Amino acid sequence: MRKILLFLLCFSPFTASTQPLQEFVLAQQQHPALQGAWWGGLAVYAGQEEEELFSVHADTRFAPASTLKLLTTAAALEKLGPDHRFVTRLYATALPDENGVLNGDVFLRGGGDMTLGSTRVKGAQDYPAVLNQWVRSVQEAGIKQVNGHVYADVSLFEGPSLSPKVNWENMGNYFAAPASALSFHDNLFEVRFLPEPAGDRPAVVAGTQPQIPQVEIQSFVTTDAKNKKDNAYVYGAPDQYNLKIFGTIPTNVRGFAIKAAMPNPALFTAQALTQALIQAGIPVRGQAQVTTQPPDYTLQYLLHTYRSPELKDIIYIVNKRSFNLYADMLLRHLALADGQRGSIENGLRALERFLRQNNLAGENDTVLYDGSGLARDNMLTPRVLVRTLNFMTQSPYFGYYYRSLATPNDRGDLLVLRRFLKPLRRVEEVRLKGGTIDGVKAAAGYVPGGDGKLIAFAFIANNLATNKDESLWRLHENIIKKMLETK
């Protein structure tokens, strides 16, 4: 091993000041967690890409997991701007008659607002509050009865609601919720179980919140007295209402809940509005329906406009909380910003154009299937991540991007690093985006060196034997500590 290190150091572009870090990183490759695995990484001073602090397989493609969100959010900030808002509009096809009867339909025009009915993002309102606004707008228009249907217009997006590369185990769970032009309540619902204080017992489903019409759930879940983590997985696909749940949940005396993906978020939204109108004393004679063929809205009557929080606040959640749905919705908006239809394919083309136009990736540096990193078949090089991080330091929106990354000391994306890095006084100066999927652990972000200069870095490990072994984070911690001391 010593001979290999000497060869790499003698025939590498590193300066004398960077050689100790390069040698240190190479030595870390003997970590037991990397036995049979593959690791790559790169670090540069921001604005000085040619001066590499270390480089290991920096131009080899790896599955990036959620560090892919760094690319999606960078492109969204640059193309849409931090103040951009997404708009959902409510229309009636006619005015009510003298008796308050609407002899027509109500349309919810989806604008691709991923935060609609969610309180994850600062400034957003929960779904009961949004429903109340829509009901009030109908009442204020003088409508006392709807003789038509309530339509959810999803025409802004097209194509599959999930990447075809999302695996079956993830599909049906909240972190793989399908994207929709009319999303609502993060496109998820809770499955609640009855209290069960004993282990190895069937976990009985008590109900769902909110209630999703037509959903039928078969539970094969049992309770586990030894494990305090949720190890239950929902199996179901978009538009599939017969769901099965396997795995274990902790024993409990107050009940337990897991989160599942809505089969059809737009249909649920139309159903929820229909029910809210009926409860407010406004009968609806028709049914809740989803359409991809919208009416001519210039001929309709606008009842209400709902605007999302600003993009900068949405991106804060995408990166810091690593929220897949929001990232995959943003991917579709990249397509719309380029004048294309809002599909996964068009969004990926728009993201690739952004990378090429800004010299962040070469033709063979990326193979992408979504905007979130959930698909295991995504591939990119550590250099693409570092170039994107480096590029954003020159952006007028860098402050928003930087603050969206987690510190190891907050409740964010890399909570697992908190106990490792907390003893360092400068821990809050470390900004990271992490990623974990089957066989993958990755981290990328910024570290201030000992000389105060900002360092952009990326680490990716692939083909790990298990994701339960957290010791690999110690390898990444060791490198981060060294970078904090670099001069």
Give the CATH number for residue 38: 3.40.710.10
Query: Do 407 and 289 share a structural domain?
Result: no
Question: Is 233 in contact with 173 (CB distance < 8 Å)?
Answer: yes
Query: Do 76 and 113 share a structural domain?
Result: no
Residue where one domain finishes, among candidates 309, 328, 349: 309
In this prediction, residue 485 carries a pLDDT of 85
Q: What are phi and psi of 271, to 5 degrees?
A: -65, -40
Q: Which of 410, 419, 465, 416 is nearest to 439 (CA)?
A: 465
Looking at beta carbons, which pairs linking 2-8 to residues 24 or more positions away fall under 8 Å?
none
Domain residues for the domain of 321 are 2-82+312-485
- Pairing mode, strands 205-209 and 440-448: unpaired
In this prediction, residue 257 carries a pLDDT of 96
AA letter at 427: V
Q: What is the pLDDT along the chain (487 residues), one digit of tens a residue?
A: 433 333 333 334 444 445 789 999 999 998 898 999 999 999 999 988 778 999 999 999 999 999 999 999 999 999 999 999 999 999 999 999 999 999 999 999 999 999 999 999 999 999 999 999 999 999 999 999 999 999 999 999 999 999 999 999 999 999 999 999 999 999 999 999 999 999 999 999 999 999 999 999 999 999 999 988 899 999 999 999 999 999 999 999 999 999 999 999 999 999 999 999 999 999 999 999 999 999 999 999 999 999 999 999 999 999 999 999 999 999 999 999 999 999 999 999 999 999 999 999 999 999 999 999 999 999 999 999 999 999 999 999 999 999 999 887 676 555 555 555 555 555 667 899 999 999 999 999 999 987 889 999 999 999 999 877 778 888 888 898 899 888 7
AA letter at 230: D
Query: Do 271 and 173 share a structural domain?
Result: yes
In this prediction, residue 60 carries a pLDDT of 98
Q: What SS3 state is found at 19?
A: helix
In this prediction, residue 407 carries a pLDDT of 82
Query: Do 241 and 140 share a structural domain?
Result: yes
Instruction: For residue 240, give the CATH number of its domain.
Output: 3.50.80.20
Query: Do 287 and 349 share a structural domain?
Result: no
Query: Do 349 and 284 share a structural domain?
Result: no
Query: Do 92 and 69 share a structural domain?
Result: no
Burial of 126 (0-12, 13-18, 19+ CB in 10 A): exposed
Residue found by looking up tokens 């800004």 in the block:
358
| Domain count of the fold of the chain | 2
In this prediction, residue 275 carries a pLDDT of 98
Residue where one domain finishes, among candidates 278, 309, 340: 309
In this prediction, residue 470 carries a pLDDT of 77
Q: What SS3 state is found at 191?
A: strand
Residue found by looking up tokens 């910003």 in the block:
337
Query: Do 69 and 118 share a structural domain?
Result: no
- Total residue length of the chain: 487
Reading the block at residue 192, the tokens are 């609640």
In this prediction, residue 1 carries a pLDDT of 40
Query: Do 273 and 148 share a structural domain?
Result: yes
In this prediction, residue 12 carries a pLDDT of 43
Query: Do 295 and 321 share a structural domain?
Result: no
Residue where one domain finishes, among candidates 251, 284, 309: 309
Question: Is 426 in contact with 332 (CB distance < 8 Å)?
Answer: no
- Cis status of the peptide bond prior to 213, with omega within 30 of 0: no
Query: Do 97 and 74 share a structural domain?
Result: no
Question: Is 184 in contact with 270 (CB distance < 8 Å)?
Answer: no
Query: Do 73 and 181 share a structural domain?
Result: no
